[in-house]
Structure 1
């Protein structure tokens, strides 16, 4: 419960050495050059991650496993060096991953995984012999780390100034406490939304389709890491609008997205977390809760590629589905719950469920 309460604050240091130090204090054996973007860790003391590995957001590291006889079993999770684990993957029931392994998003991993393996869903595939994987350097320089610390401090200062401003405005006139609390929350949310949009548009800026960012690069920190930090830090401000708010399409259009009429979005966070100028959503699209627009896809060298995402007219994105960069969905398509869509998914009108989308490659 304490870990869950700290999740909001921990999101400010994800992907930084500060988070690695925090996990070490919790008992984990984490290499200094590891990049971890998830807080879904149930037993940090049983976690071991070697140098240069990257773990995406919403990845579950489950050392606590529930047996059929109503007992729990604690099993360690070990991740070797230069491994890349995609978003919404699950590592459970004892994991021993060797080196240079790529785990595609929404995959499950358990047991031993040999080096230079590509894990896709529950399938383990060896790296093709005719493809040479050259891992890029994933070590952040001192300048990169200083930049991250300065940005985090700046975000905290923005929140402090914002809270001070709200307090000053509220103290001008004495009003009953319940009304004062509601007024302060509303004012903070409105100003927070505007600040986050200004930062996303003028500080983070647009991305170019097909561009590749090494993890230890300034472009990755600016275009990917900083975007995630801004969206997560101002997450509560965006709780003021209700689900499927009519303002969401206008906000995304202002950030450069191509959004047509009658588009309904349950949540805006996931769309703000990806390069919005690469989004093209046609008329009549509905995105339900829990939809994840994955901002980048992994290359064989462990770098991150951004690309355009196109959603055809009158398409429904069901709860918990994940849309990868390069996806192109035809009109009148229904994406089922917990389904992963990527550039390899054959796009045609119809229904994609969890297995059909992954297997139709």
Structure 2
């Protein structure tokens, strides 16, 4: 791996320049456009989908559907929402939706099963708030699935449940201030599970080392035509597009202006380059308080699901503490970089680094969309 000094280029104002150029392009094109799509309508719908707590309709089946709704507020790779739910008596099955897999960035479906674990963890906290104890168990049958058995218990609304409605992957800048030791302990406890550990890296030399792996992985991905094409397919460049599909990566969530697809897809090649993205990641890692790395002791679907549950607890705990987080998964996504990264972490043979996450305090960003419950029920 090349030294970080060879792969990083400092340009502290490049993000602002890109924003201004994109906005200028939007204004220039205004005469031939109805309008550059506003995020207001998209955000109104995105927030209404999150609601403010458990809803009630007076029917026997609705509470189970409500658990599904809250499970879908979990994160998924490219916001593909790659899950299917089946309500059966006192249990809910969470299965992969392989029609929504991402073969370029996630060829072994690792992130897909991590996403299922995130959804299951949301369901655990939502169930407890509605007076049910949820016990997720991974079932390897077929493609693999999670069976969530539900039993009556004393209901309790926890801070993690309350955080479900505000949790987001915040892809903006943070304030660079450190997180207190008690808060770091809470994050570490939340992110640790059965066969999954989390390492919180807050020392600047360690964070710079992770940055070097992020840059190496990002450069490889940005030079991969299949990766770029897949990413572009899941970007929702305009608010209208995000509203219509209910999924994908809305441009507003990264601070970029909303534009029609025909224009934004052409401009993407001008602004979405290895250099510009590496500069953005360099700035954002350096204004983060730390980096969390999740690793499994075994590289199988059961542990991927557990890694998802651990990450989601971490993210909910962070949200409850007013701490933001966002993924930096390039070191674990690129097959040639992942073994190097694992060796740097000191992982043993058979162990796998699952997720890389930066965290810190900063402003919220626009929320991503979700599909309606009916669309994800099997």
Q: Do they fold alike, i.e. is TM over 0.5?
A: no
- When normalised by structure 1's length, the TM-score is 0.29
- When normalised by structure 2's length, the TM-score is 0.28
More helix per residue: 1 or 2? Answer: 2
Structure scoring higher RCO (CA < 8 A, sep ≥ 6) equals 2
More strand per residue: 1 or 2? Answer: 1
